[in-house]
Structures are given as structure tokens and as C-alpha cells.
Structure 1
Amino acid sequence: MSTAAGSVFDTDTLRRGIEDQTAATLLSLYADDAELRVIDHNTQPSQPKVLHGRDEIGQMLDDVYSRDMTHKLEECIVQGDRAAYSESCRYSDGVRVLAESMLTLRDGKIVEQTMIQAWDE
């Protein structure tokens, strides 16, 4: 099976988007019809926050990357049409956040993402 040019998930863009806090760069990795499920203390597994499409996902990314905090891509693994990554974050007041994401890919773009996040309280 051959792979079409441009169909590989771009982990360099993922790292740049996360660590440079650039919502537009991250958003470029999502398919138009992508779905993002967020599970955390506020949106638990039985009722996750679900965002549909690049517009809704982009609004969330704009909000997250407008905050006074740093982000680091800790690890990313890609295998076929699946990927997973860990992201650590730190607010300026020292509060830490850890997010784990599992991705489904199509033509190198994210079509489904489940993110589980936890933060200091």
C-alpha cells in the first residue's frame, strides 16, 4: 500500500503549535469535520464536552492559547491512522495541567480526538 504525499501526520507542526502556543498552527492539523471530546473534572466521561468541526475546535484553541501559560509536547506516537500524545502545561501562578490525547487520522489530518485532562486544584 502506498502513501500519498502529504498524508502523514505532521508531528513537527503539532510540536510547533503546542509549544509556540499558536492556535492557527494546531488548527491546520484538523480535518474540516473533526470531532473533539474533552473529559476532565468538569466534563466527565458520561457527559464529555464535544466540539464539532474546525470552527468550534478553533474557538477552544484560541481560548486556551490566549492564557498566560506555557505548553510542552512531552511525547507523541504515530502508528498508521492513529496517534497519541501527552502535553504538559503550567500557568504563571504555578498550576500544572496534564492532557493526554488519542487521535484518529484521515489523510494526515485529525478527524477524532479524545482528550483527558487534569489540573492542580
Structure 2
Amino acid sequence: MGTATGRAFDAETLRRGIEGNTGNTLLSLYADDAEIRIVDHNHQPSEPTVLRGRGQIAELLDDIYSRDMTHKLEQCVVRGDHAAFSESCQYGDGTRVIAESMVTLRDGKITNQLLIQAWDE
């Protein structure tokens, strides 16, 4: 478990990043050594997608923000060295996606994220 420090996680930057047109603002919230585990219909809990480092995270964000879709931060709760947030997304064809994340923070940056997502099929 990490330790809370003087630098706080910026939930407003999270909102701007999620709701923006590129992944650049969102990427700024991740530590260089961050790791994301993604669980969904295609990647079950026993074999999640795992991204390590800002380079792999940037590739994911570039892919997501190149799609015809909108993103909205629904809720964010920050407590010490952890945060949880919910986002909703919608593709241009109406397909909806819901994502829930729990993150661990160090010096106001995300170091670990568990992202669970579901979408219309």
C-alpha cells in the first residue's frame, strides 16, 4: 500500500482528461511506472489485459480517443492514497460503455489501476 503525501490527486484534471478529445491530459495523471489491469467480457479476471508504463498507457489512450465516442466522468471519490471513479461512454452508433476504476496513488499520480468495463453487445 502506498502512502499519502503532500501532493493531492487532481480530480478536476481527471474530469478534463476523460471528457477531452485526446488522452494527453489523462496520461499526465499516471506515474512513469504505472500499471493498468483491464477486466471485461474479453479479458476475464484470471487473464486481464495488463499495461505497464506510460508508453503502453499512451497507446491505449491514443486508440480510445481516436474513436467516434464521447466520455463523461460520472463520479470520483478520493481518499488518501486511493481514488475510485466511474465513467460512461457512448459510441457514435449509440453503443454504451460503463467503466469503473479503483486506483492507487503516489505523489498525486496513479500507480495502479483496476478498470472493469462493460458495453452493449
Report if TM-score (shorter chain) is over 0.5. yes
**What SS is found at the alignment partner of 1:113?**
strand
Using the TM superposition, name which of 68-77 and 13-22 deviates more.
13-22
Please list, as runs of the form range in 1=range in 2, the aligned pairs for 1:22-37 lying within 5 A after superposition: 22-37=22-37
Amino acid at match of 2:32: D
Q: 1 CA distance for matches of 2:62 and 2:75?
A: 23
* TM-score, scaled to structure 2: 0.95
Query: What is the CA-CA distance between 1:21 and the residue it aligns to?
Result: 3.0
Q: 1 CA distance for matches of 2:31 and 2:80?
A: 17
Query: What is the CA-CA distance between 1:17 and the residue it aligns to?
Result: 0.6
* Contact persistence 2:37–2:114 (CA under 8 A): yes
Mind listing any 5+ residue stretches in structure 1 that lack a counterpart?
Answer: none
Mind listing any 5+ residue stretches in structure 2 that lack a counterpart?
Answer: none
Please list, as runs of the form range in 1=range in 2, the aligned pairs for 1:1-121 lying within 5 A after superposition: 3-4=5-6, 7-121=7-121
Between the two proteins, what is the percent identity of the paired residues?
69
* Contact persistence 1:9–1:109 (CA under 8 A): yes
* Contact persistence 2:104–2:110 (CA under 8 A): yes
Query: Which stretches of structure 1, 4 residues or more, deviate above 2 A after TM superposition?
Result: none
Amino acid at match of 2:120: D
RMSD: 1.1
Aligned residues: 118
Query: What is the CA-CA distance between 1:20 and the residue it aligns to?
Result: 1.2
